[in-house]
Amino acid sequence: MVLADLGKRINNAVTNAISNEQTDYETTVQSMLKEIATALLENDVNIRLVSRLRENIKNTLLSNANVNAKFTNAQTKKLIQKTVFDELCNLVDCEVTSPFQPKKRQSNVIMFVGLQGSGKTTSCTKLAVYYSKRGYKVGLVCADTFRAGAFDQLKQNAIKAKIPFYGSYTEPNPVKVAKDGVDKFKKEKFEIIIVDTSGRHQQEDSLFQEMVEISQAVKPKQTIMVLDASIGQAAEHQSKAFKESADFGSIILTKMDGHARGGGAISAVASTNTPIIFIGTGEHIHDFEKFSPKSFVSKLLGIGDIESLMERFQTVSDQDDAKNTLENIQQGKFTLLDFKNQMQTIMKMGPLSNIANMIPGMGNMLNQFSEEETSKKMKTMVYIFDSMTKKELESDGRIFIDEPSRLVRVAKGSGTTVFDIEMLLMQQQMMARMAQTTKQMGGLPTKGGMPP
């Protein structure tokens, strides 16, 4: 991920500080702060923000009367970790960080702005899928008449995601296309209408003029700026210019899966005082995560991020399947069909490395295996499930003990071996036992009871 290297360096600075029991407290804090500041500056974070963060951490750590000057004190270590964590959260926290909650049974227009190539069209579809999965009636409008092929791109994305769309091959006026599209969807009682506007390679007056006119015509409830995380220092200037004319209310940060430095984007957020609501982590429709400062910083520091994992699971899983599986687990059951659905959900969640980073400790572990190998294994399992009958899938797997000949048939049908199927059944039995334990312990936690 963008910033992964930054995370590693900050983490090392903190670890070095808390494991240093030789030098005095103040010297250690100062040298940790120097390391953190250098890492942030080298990652394009604005110098003013870095000095502010440095000052804040220093003040908290050096003025805390409860701090024991000896590093053997567990409380001191915790305080250092917490202070650095909180200040990093402050860097990206602009107070309101939850995505726009549109009212149901009324039309809410969301307008997208940003430079060409930032990932606007892709993010429009991702957001449309996000809301559609949450029960909203969503439509997409392509008001980008500047870039040849823009409508075709949005159309292809929309068809793939099964989202209704509107655009025109002949009308050259983007304001008219936007207005016509929004009017059409309003008439048809769409609850969320997402308008994709034109971008330009550079900030130009004509672009800003066009944005203002579209905004006046469609009256968005929310305007979102799409920002490419890898553009470095330019991000701050770009966001300020867009803020002046489009007055966006939130930011979607794209290409967080890349390797470029992403600190410029953090500075952009801080300088426009506008929250990031989602981050794009790949080209696929589901490579989209709700942004939360705590999750972001946890990931940055390699602590894992269960919250995003659950969010993503909710977006990609088929709601009925997920509900049935949860009900089964509540009753202490876990059938082969539950296993199949879970497997497919995980495969839909995108590159395994993206998912692994959200699970504590998993990011490092996955580095030891080839992603291709793991993904091939998972696909083989799905072939096995596909060769089973409905009755077998809905069973607890023991059905194969009574009918071993079926093992041979399923192996033949899926192009695998009996051993492969026995391994799969073993895994399913393990999960079924976990479901049993969950039931004995009083069921699954409610949302409020999820780990932070």
Please, what is the minimum distance in Å from the beta carbon of residue 29 to ligand GDP?
Answer: 37
Residue with smaller CB distance to ligand GDP, 102 or 282: 282
Please, what is the minimum distance in Å from the beta carbon of residue 131 to ligand GDP?
Answer: 18
| The two three-digit tokens of residue 127, written as one number | 């957001």
Q: Does 174 bind ligand GDP (CB under 6 A)?
A: no
Range in contact with ligand GDP (rule: CB under 6 A) among 21-29, 87-95, 119-127, 385-393: 119-127
* Token pair 């025109």 in the structure block, residue: 168
Nearest to 81 by CA among 143, 27, 29: 29
Q: Does 351 bind ligand GDP (CB under 6 A)?
A: no
Q: Does 350 bind ligand GDP (CB under 6 A)?
A: no
Q: Does 118 bind ligand GDP (CB under 6 A)?
A: yes
Residue with smaller CB distance to ligand GDP, 13 or 355: 355
* Interface of this chain with ligand GDP, residues 178 to 237, rule: CB under 6 A: 199
Give the one residue of 42, 55, 204, 283 binding ligand GDP; rule: CB under 6 A. Answer: 283
CB count within 10 Å of CB 321 equals 16
Residue with smaller CB distance to ligand GDP, 282 or 304: 282
Range in contact with ligand GDP (rule: CB under 6 A) among 2-10, 113-121, 178-186, 263-271: 113-121
Q: Does 428 bind ligand GDP (CB under 6 A)?
A: no
**CA–CA gap between residue 214 and residue 210 (Å, rounded):** 6
Residue with smaller CB distance to ligand GDP, 122 or 414: 122
Non-local (6+) Cβ contacts of 202 within 8 A are: 115
Q: Does 281 bind ligand GDP (CB under 6 A)?
A: yes
The sign of the torsion formed by the CA atoms of 240, 242, 247, 249 equals negative
| CA end-to-end span of the chain | 22
**CA–CA gap between residue 127 and residue 289 (Å, rounded):** 10
Please, what is the minimum distance in Å from the beta carbon of residue 166 to ligand GDP?
Answer: 16
Question: What one-character-per-residue DSSP string does 349-378 give?
Answer: T--HHHHHTTSTTHHHHHTTS-HHHHHHHH
Residue with smaller CB distance to ligand GDP, 152 or 318: 152
Nearest to 100 by CA among 323, 295, 271, 252: 252
Q: Is 401 exposed, middle or buried, given 0-12, 13-18 or 19+ CB atoms closer than 10 A?
A: exposed
Please, what is the minimum distance in Å from the beta carbon of residue 15 to ligand GDP?
Answer: 30
**Binding-site string for ligand GDP from residue 287 to residue 316, where x marks contact by CB under 6 A and - marks none:** x-----------------------------
List, edge to edge, every strand of the sheet that includes 222-228.
Answer: 165-166, 138-143, 192-197, 108-113, 222-228, 250-254, 276-280, 288-290
**Residue type for 128, please?**
A
Residue with smaller CB distance to ligand GDP, 113 or 435: 113
Contact 154, 137 (CB under 8 A): no
Residue with smaller CB distance to ligand GDP, 187 or 201: 201
Range in contact with ligand GDP (rule: CB under 6 A) among 58-66, 277-285, 372-380, 404-412: 277-285
Please, what is the minimum distance in Å from the beta carbon of residue 252 to ligand GDP?
Answer: 9
Angle between helices 293-300 and 306-316 (to 10 degrees): 110
Q: Does 354 bind ligand GDP (CB under 6 A)?
A: no
Position of minimal CB gap to ligand GDP:
280
**CA–CA gap between residue 214 and residue 197 (Å, rounded):** 8
Q: Which positions touch ligand GDP (CB under 6 A)? A: 114, 116-122, 153, 199, 254-255, 257-258, 280-283, 287
